Structure formats: C-alpha cells, structure tokens
C-alpha cells in the first residue's frame, strides 16, 4: 500500500476520532479530575492470515485523576452476542490507544459490533465495523502512537513476551506478588536515548502511569520496554516498578492490591512500533 494511501486513511481515522470525541465548546477549557464519563473508541481493523479480522478498541477517560472501575456486565458490554469480549474494567486517565482486540470471523461482512460503557451518569458507545476507511497497518498504528509516519522499519517484527511461571495466582489481601516475564525483540528499531530525550523535552509528557500507559518514549530509549498494566479488577494495583528493566531477556516486578477480588494484569512488550501482550489472573482473597 502506498504511503499516500496510508496518509489518506490516517487522516480519515483522525478526523473521525475528532468528530466522535469533540467536547462542547463550553467544556473545552475545563479540566476535570473526576466525575466525567469514559468514551469507548473504535480504532480500526486488521486482517488475520486465516481470513478473520481483529477489531481494535481503545478509550478516552475524560478524567485527569479518576481511574474508574466499570465492571463487565450491564454497564460495560458488547452487543450483539457475547457481552464479554476482553474489554477492560479498569480505565486509566485520558486517551489510551489500541487497548484490546476483538476477533471476528471472516464472514463478518457489513455487521457492526458495539461496545457500550456507562459511567458518571452517561452511556457512550463505539461501533466497530469493517469499513475500508478503518483498515489500519503498522504505519497508522505508529502515527497514532505519536511516532510519526515516515521510517516505518519494514524489517521490524513484533516483540515476544511470556510469563515465567503460572498464569493464575491466589494471594491473600495485604500480600504482594512477584511477577517475572521473558521478553525479546529483533532489535529493530534499536535504542535511541537521544530521541527519547528530545521527545520528552518537546512534549513535556509525564510518566506512563499518569498519561498514556503505553509510552513509546521508554521504548525509544531502551529499544524494548516492558510495562505492567491493570486491565481488570475492583481496586487499585500498585506495580513496583511499573516498567521493570529488561535484563538478559527477563523483567521482574511486584504487584500489590488494595482490595480483595479478581484482577487481570497485563504485561506489554513494546518496541515503539509494535507491541505484544500476556495476561495474568490474580485472585485476591480476604485476609483471615
């Protein structure tokens, strides 16, 4: 696909997002720490080798501090069909791109898949479809992650990540859990600390736990970054650290939980262009 076609498609995606996410003029200059809604976002679709498709979704949490828990069910569901399609129930602040994928069959055709989230007294939806304008590729994803359009690293391959140990754990409230991942990459693109520093100075962005939790700046500096995220769970999860260093292909962190319940934790390997994920389920039982 030509670069001109990619740029055209990206422009369509960006313009549609602006239309879908635009605030009322009277709200444009106001920042809210809490009490605002969560807007689901359809990011686009990609085709799988077997002929099926992935619908890509993210969201905009309009709060600057509140990270709401919106349980999967009547207030956080997909339709038609299964209500649970792997969507988050924990929403980080502000705009989070390409959070999860929903696989649909090769004969999905002109059907729609709607993600509905109700929070702060407002119900918002995002409609996924296979309209040609919504097709995304590596260049589009890279541009939407703030990494620019040119220099797409055509030889780059997706990083790898896996859990060293079980994928399901049970801990008591008040206990911390040690988690180890094994991650690797092809070295493309390689580390570029100077570029990371320039991006940080220009954009003035805070760390990953405060804005976009998939922060390409960290991967620019190291070549491969691992980030731990809370995907689901009724309380807050603290990671120490949230971005553990990758040493000899391994990265170690600890997680602690504010309240009992079932949590889904997600580790993301990021080379700035492509990402790979792996999930861990943690059941936190009340302390005896």
| Residue-level pLDDT at 7 | 39
- The helix or strand, by DSSP H or E, that contains position 17, with its residue range, turns out to be helix 3-21
Cα–Cα distance measured from residue 55 to residue 113, given in angstroms and rounded to the nearest whole number: 9
Ramachandran sector of residue 120 (left: φ over 0; alpha: ψ -120 to 50; beta: rest)? left
- Give the CA diameter of the chain: 62
284 within 8 A of 201, measured Cβ to Cβ: no
User: What CA–CA distances, in Å, run from 285 to 29, 173, 258, 259?
Assistant: 43, 6, 11, 9
Cα–Cα distance measured from residue 128 to residue 86, given in angstroms and rounded to the nearest whole number: 15
Structure tokens at 141: 């994803």
Residues 6 or more apart whose CB falls under 8 angstroms from that of 56 comprise 42, 43, 44, 45, 46, 98, 100, 101, 136
Could you say which DSSP state residue 259 is in? S
185 within 8 A of 271, measured Cβ to Cβ: yes
User: What CA–CA distances, in Å, run from 280 to 136, 166, 232, 251?
Assistant: 28, 8, 10, 15
SS3 105: coil
Express each pLDDT in 50-93 by its tens digit.
Answer: 999 999 999 999 999 999 999 999 999 999 999 999 999 999 99
| Residue-level pLDDT at 190 | 80
Q: Which domains does the chain have, with CATH numbers?
A: 3-136 (no CATH), 160-285 (2.60.40.10)
Cα–Cα distance measured from residue 199 to residue 225, given in angstroms and rounded to the nearest whole number: 16
The pLDDT averaged over each successive group of 10 residues in the chain (288 residues) is 41 43 52 93 96 97 95 97 97 92 97 98 97 85 62 74 96 95 89 68 42 68 90 95 93 96 96 90 92
Express each pLDDT in 148-161 by its tens digit.
Answer: 554 556 677 889 99
Task: Tell me, rounded to whole angstroms, the distance of Cα 179 from its chain centroid.
Answer: 20
Give the alpha-carbon dihedral of 91, 97, 101, 106, to 10 degrees: 140
Residues paired with residue 279 on neighbouring β-strands, in sequence order: 266
Nearest one of 15, 182, 41 to 100, comparing CA atoms: 41
List phi, psi (to 5°) of 179: -125, 135
| Residue-level pLDDT at 110 | 95
The pTM for the full model equals: 0.82
| Residue-level pLDDT at 198 | 62
| Residue-level pLDDT at 11 | 40
User: CA triplet 6, 13, 67: central angle to 5 degrees?
Assistant: 130
């Amino acid at each position: 696909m030509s670069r001109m076609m990619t740029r055209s498609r990206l422009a369509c995606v960006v313009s549609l997002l602006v239309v879908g996410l635009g605030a009322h003029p009277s709200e444009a200059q106001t920042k809210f720490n809490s009490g605002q809604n969560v807007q689901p976002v359809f990011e686009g679709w990609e085709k799988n080798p077997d002929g099926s498709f992935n619908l890509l979704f993210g969201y905009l949490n309009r709060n600057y501090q509140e990270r709401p828990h919106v349980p999967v069910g009547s207030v956080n569901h997909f339709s038609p069909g299964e209500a649970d399609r792997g969507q988050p129930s924990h929403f980080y602040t502000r705009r989070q791109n390409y959070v999860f994928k929903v696989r649909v069959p090769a004969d999905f055709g002109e059907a729609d898949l709607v993600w509905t989230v109700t929070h702060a007294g407002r119900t918002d939806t995002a409609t996924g479809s296979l309209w040609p304008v919504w097709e995304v590729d590596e260049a589009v994803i890279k541009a939407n992650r703030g990494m620019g359009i040119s220099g797409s690293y055509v030889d780059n391959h997706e990083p790898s990540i896996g859990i060293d140990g079980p994928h399901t754990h049970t801990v008591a409230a008040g206990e911390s859990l040690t988690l180890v991942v094994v991650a690797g990459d092809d070295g493309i693109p390689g580390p570029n600390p100077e570029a990371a520093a320039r991006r940080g100075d220009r954009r003035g962005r805070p760390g990953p736990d405060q804005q976009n939790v998939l922060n390409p700046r960290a991967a620019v500096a190291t070549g491969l970054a691992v980030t731990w995220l809370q995907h689901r769970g009724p309380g807050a999860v603290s990671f120490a650290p949230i971005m553990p260093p990758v040493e000899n292909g391994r990265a170690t962190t600890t997680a602690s939980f504010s309240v009992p319940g079932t949590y889904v934790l997600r580790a993301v390997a990021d080379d700035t262009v492509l990402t790979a994920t792996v999930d861990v389920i943690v059941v936190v039982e009340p302390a005896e």
